[in-house]
Structure 1
């Protein structure tokens, strides 16, 4: 039996605009519902009535990422001409988003008698900042004004606070009866004979100071017709037609891959486009429709096997926004890569530091890792020259600011009164705990930060060696070797057979069992002799739920499977750990982890992995339970599917030398898989893998350009201090 689970909301998005409603298409002001753009909620309340009676939902769904449809019917409606029988009227509300929102209202009278009533649309706007919507704490700062333009028949609601201006224009169009406005509602007088239908359109135009976000003037059927492509929809279709195509003898894997490709394209932030093939995605809908550092970088890493050029937009935009000065309010230091940027009212008036905010301890190292990986997959030497200054500033930041006290370890502590307490990927305020469940204070030296620094130095050493800068490469390798030795000496805890979660302010290892050391496997810093113990711990019952690896051991007093970071399961975390398993040759464990993630995926609506789900134990008749406020879609949740496949197939590129390495070990549940249009440098290749008598076979067919494919396992870094 399959159980579909998902949030009881309808979410549609396109670029920086998105709309979240209840399943009946309505919007209640309490909760994270409304029309949003640029971190402002433009519509905070929507209700539809027939003679002041609420409609009854029959069914609703999102038909594509940018479109939704709601089927409603009527309760019994008392009119002066008599009662309109329940279920005799049909109302279909269809919505599409591209820049603004387009809404279609379609009524049909299926009764045997004429129906005469008033269709009412109630709209309200609070123009709240997205941080206020998220917290539920609102502060009114400016002035609201609503006007009905009698001549144009448009509703204008505006908000002004000094030089911050936002406006929502509701524009009825193509109506079969005239709209009127009274008592906060747009009213249509409806008179339908039996079998007769009525139609009206409504455009939601979002105004941000001098910028207008107007929807496309297409009704629902044309907007969702693949043959009627707008420019932005053409870019989305181009993405789907460009990425690596996967055919696989497992329906769950195939559907999960296709949905993840679709979600990645659906999250495209068109405002940050540098060109048709240079773009980057939002982190997730609805709370993270903006540019993030860590999220964008990890999503870029995940997409190397789908379309390596995906990296160009991320590297360019984050490089442009690299910090150039010290600013404690924004936790910025020269060379640091940003954490998050916001453009709402609170950011505009510097009430929050997100302009941008730099409170992340890992994004700067991840930037170097992504740049190296992009070079290995694209073979584009211009990346090394164009971003040389960015590279050097990142390296300087790691030495000067990432290591707060000069002890050789990366650690963090916010300097901003509004900064983030925890600045690794587990960035909720209560995520980092001692074995007794109490909170670890800053500064904190998370174990994965050491792995990222080690990996970044080794990767940059390879780049500088390639550029004939051997002395610089040697210095980086020596630093990496020293860090690895120091890491083993300080972080390894023999009494628990595991690496410390972090070092606390007294430089004492925090012996908490958590998923973070799995990232150390991925980075290659872990000693080969200790890798088996790390894998064993991560797959022990207290860490492994059966649906994936938890963020925190179930034996910790702070464990809560429904929390954000203290026992939940994050797909991207598991994807990175799967690559770590593979790097240390734990192929069976890689397949086990991938299998359970794919099986979890099959329970979620449309095979779409949420940002995270709960860490409850898997048992007969159970199913994965989503985190109540998880973002769906989420860029790095979608990308985790790509990491799982990369781990199973052992794909590693060396495009500068026109080579691709494979190290496949197919599990029985993937007896055959083919990758078509896989890009490595200027070449495209088809890879086919299949099981034969329990042994994985493979074949490579070049489709464009020159490429050599070899079987070779990905190994941890080999480093010795000179």
Structure 2
């Protein structure tokens, strides 16, 4: 069970406890501040009744007692009710409530044991924890508080547990905070434990409100404001509606707040529990997916990532001038450069995606100042593509780590074994992934539009010439006529890697595929060895390295499928795009609370199967949740053009989604409510709110107007 907010994550067992050893705990900026938390009555454990999350930031756990030995005799089982309620917003507010449901008075000690190992998140994940610094613990009686501090040179983490609103005094002994409870029949007892989390300079305070009033807290009010602001839907398909609504909640839970001088921005973190951090690729793709739902995500992503753009070459961090970071961490290992993540730049696509997001943000918001403010960053990105992305000057993007701690693979499939040849062997040498070429082609085209807007016609024309040359070069080098499909990559010797994988679907999304080859690519991706019935697999089931339970060699990734669906729609394959959307959405409906996981197994769907969880998948995960939004965009053919105050639509609703209404759809300063409905095999739309003349039918595959402007 997990609750989180910002850089704080609490991960426990279903009974609210934190066993040790395990990977669970209370994490703060990549350090585990609580490694063990248990609660007992006179040393006797409690038994779980039920537990669950109220919101992403709050949970409740209900427990009851086993037989408890006391001086007055045994307390009968199921006589006491224990409630543990928690909310998180920087620090953690914990309500402890005990009720005596028995007919006799009871007296016992309620004991809470809290231990802190202050382990770095990377070491917790690896199971190899090394203590470098020193932990000190002190207890104060007034106010009642337990304070634990970890120091290693100039690195510090702190946990302070304050006892408030307690119906009996707290004492600390033998590593436990204890309360003596004397309860008459039907009597209740309450205490608040406030966990403050610090770095030696400042502490993140816990919410002051108890659980009954938690919606009035800062984090509660932010969630309510978020839900009022974002896109909403009503539809006759209850499964899709629930999936969409949960995705909205999941994305809300992953917002990292960014304080500005006069307002608050957000940037999406990657996922809970291990990736509550700034990621270049993840944050940028999630911003693209949320373009219709919450277009302001892109503002935060562009600002924060641009501010950390590399200025020098640093091989340990795989940094080069102009490069956008891959991952930023704040734990002890990153602080002392024992890992290269402060920040690490080992991503071959984040720099290119930055340009695509800049264009998307402009088209969705109409804010020309975004282009002006981020143009210097964008120019440095363009220079990096030429100077470093193309390592050998052959006109293609390649990657290879220079760091002894760097990632072997630096595309979105970044597992060490993700890029494999047809015989199952690992591809060696600098690798030129097919989708990287497509991303660059798309980024150059979009940056040409931006230069047109800014009056830099010469720059725009230069990029269009380069894009056309890349289009031709790519289709000559990567196309395999025998299979009617694109190579996964070129290896270090420029040989085609002909493993059938999902990556060429991203080439459709980028538009680098000629129209006369698109059908062949779509057909290959929809073949049974690739399409599991729960979504398109990362690798063909016919490949010798296929493993449906692997991370990226046969599993299904929702975000991967959402980009592929957008690619299908770009080339006019609306039915196939809707089919992919149906398969993934149907899979999502099987998971708890309709939460779309980061990935799941690529097992074949049949009449008696259901999707199978991948062990260790992040849930929630930003671009998994965002896949639902992109599926919706693909089916409705929505193309925002805020600079011209236009919203272009090209809806093709499938039979499984015959009607849907979107509300609070923002395009620049305009807002729309639009109903889409399927009638006699075609899809009609009606503008319910907003200027009807601003909504124009336009093909999402060719750009041709279907109705006069």
Q: Fold conserved (TM > 0.5)?
A: yes
CA shift, 1:716, in A, is: 8.9
Match of 2:558 among 571, 574, 583: 571
CA shift, 1:49, in A, is: 0.9
CA shift, 1:471, in A, is: 2.0
Alignment of 1:181-580 (within 5 A): 181-223=172-214, 226=215, 228=216, 230-271=217-258, 276=263, 278-580=265-567
CA shift, 1:271, in A, is: 4.5
- Cα distance in 2 for residues equivalent to 1:275 and 1:412: 40
CA shift, 1:181, in A, is: 1.5
Match in the other structure for 1:5: none
Match in the other structure for 1:135: 126
> TM-score, normalization: structure 2?
0.97
- Cα distance in 2 for residues equivalent to 1:151 and 1:379: 56
Match of 1:155 among 133, 139, 146: 146
In structure 2, stretches of 5+ residues that fail to align are 705-709
Match in the other structure for 2:19: 28
Question: For residues 687 and 151 of structure 1, do their structure 2 counterparts lie closer, same or farther at Cα, with a shift above 3 Å needed?
Answer: closer
1:655 aligns with 2:646: no
SS at 2:604 equivalent: coil
Question: For residues 484 and 40 of structure 1, do their structure 2 counterparts lie closer, same or farther at Cα, with a shift above 3 Å needed?
Answer: same
- Cα distance in 2 for residues equivalent to 1:689 and 1:277: 34
Q: Is the 8 A contact 1:45 1:125 kept in 2?
A: yes
Please give the per-residue CA displacement for 1:182-211, whole angstroms capped at 9, x wherever unaligned.
Answer: 211111122222212111111111111111
SS at 2:674 equivalent: strand
- Cα distance in 1 for residues equivalent to 2:164 and 2:687: 56
- Cα distance in 2 for residues equivalent to 1:190 and 1:599: 50
In structure 1, stretches of 5+ residues that fail to align are 1-9, 718-722
Question: For residues 705 and 691 of structure 1, do their structure 2 counterparts lie closer, same or farther at Cα, with a shift above 3 Å needed?
Answer: closer
Match in the other structure for 2:700: 713
Q: Is the 8 A contact 2:281 2:326 kept in 1?
A: yes
Match in the other structure for 1:180: 171
Match in the other structure for 2:601: 614
CA shift, 1:418, in A, is: 0.9
Q: RCO (CA 8 Å, sep 6+): is it higher in 1 or 2? A: 1
1:121 aligns with 2:112: yes
- Cα distance in 1 for residues equivalent to 2:41 and 2:180: 10
CA shift, 1:620, in A, is: 2.2
> TM-score, normalization: structure 1?
0.95
Q: Is the 8 A contact 2:649 2:695 kept in 1?
A: no
CA shift, 1:705, in A, is: 10
CA shift, 1:490, in A, is: 1.0
Return 266-275 or 494-503, whichever deviates more.
266-275
CA shift, 1:273, in A, is: 5.6
Return 644-653 or 595-604, whichever deviates more.
595-604
CA shift, 1:701, in A, is: 4.4
- Cα distance in 1 for residues equivalent to 2:113 and 2:476: 65
Match in the other structure for 1:720: none
Q: Is the 8 A contact 1:247 1:254 kept in 2?
A: yes
Please give the per-residue CA displacement for 1:452-508, whole angstroms capped at 9, x wherever unaligned.
Answer: 000001111122123332222121111111111111111111222211111111110
Please give the per-residue CA displacement for 1:52-100, whole angstroms capped at 9, x wherever unaligned.
Answer: 1111101110111111111111111222221111111111111110110
- Cα distance in 1 for residues equivalent to 2:558 and 2:670: 30
SS at 2:291 equivalent: helix
Match in the other structure for 2:54: 63
Return 555-564 or 443-452, whichever deviates more.
555-564
Alignment RMSD: 1.6
CA shift, 1:152, in A, is: 2.6
Match of 1:589 among 559, 571, 576: 576
CA shift, 1:578, in A, is: 0.5
SS at 1:278 equivalent: strand
- Cα distance in 2 for residues equivalent to 1:666 and 1:25: 44
Please give the per-residue CA displacement for 1:231-290, whole angstroms capped at 9, x wherever unaligned.
Answer: 343332222111122111111111111111122122111256676453212111111111
Question: For residues 81 and 168 of structure 1, do their structure 2 counterparts lie closer, same or farther at Cα, with a shift above 3 Å needed?
Answer: same
SS at 1:246 equivalent: strand
SS at 1:270 equivalent: strand
Q: Is the 8 A contact 1:127 1:159 kept in 2?
A: yes
CA shift, 1:127, in A, is: 0.6
CA shift, 1:112, in A, is: 2.2
Match in the other structure for 1:3: none
Match in the other structure for 2:707: none
Q: Is the 8 A contact 1:249 1:673 kept in 2?
A: yes
SS at 2:402 equivalent: coil
- Cα distance in 1 for residues equivalent to 2:262 and 2:570: 35
Please give the per-residue CA displacement for 1:157-184, whole angstroms capped at 9, x wherever unaligned.
Answer: 1111011111111112111121111211
Q: Is the 8 A contact 2:258 2:266 kept in 1?
A: no
CA shift, 1:665, in A, is: 0.7
Please give the per-residue CA displacement for 1:590-620, whole angstroms capped at 9, x wherever unaligned.
Answer: 1111111111111112211011111111122
Q: Is the 8 A contact 2:36 2:116 kept in 1?
A: yes
Match in the other structure for 2:41: 50
Question: For residues 235 and 455 of structure 1, do their structure 2 counterparts lie closer, same or farther at Cα, with a shift above 3 Å needed?
Answer: same
**Length, aligned pairs only:** 704
Match of 1:632 among 602, 616, 619: 619
Match of 2:91 among 81, 97, 100: 100
CA shift, 1:30, in A, is: 2.8
CA shift, 1:151, in A, is: 3.5
Question: For residues 282 and 657 of structure 1, do their structure 2 counterparts lie closer, same or farther at Cα, with a shift above 3 Å needed?
Answer: same
Alignment of 1:657-676 (within 5 A): 657-676=644-663
- Cα distance in 2 for residues equivalent to 1:647 and 1:74: 53
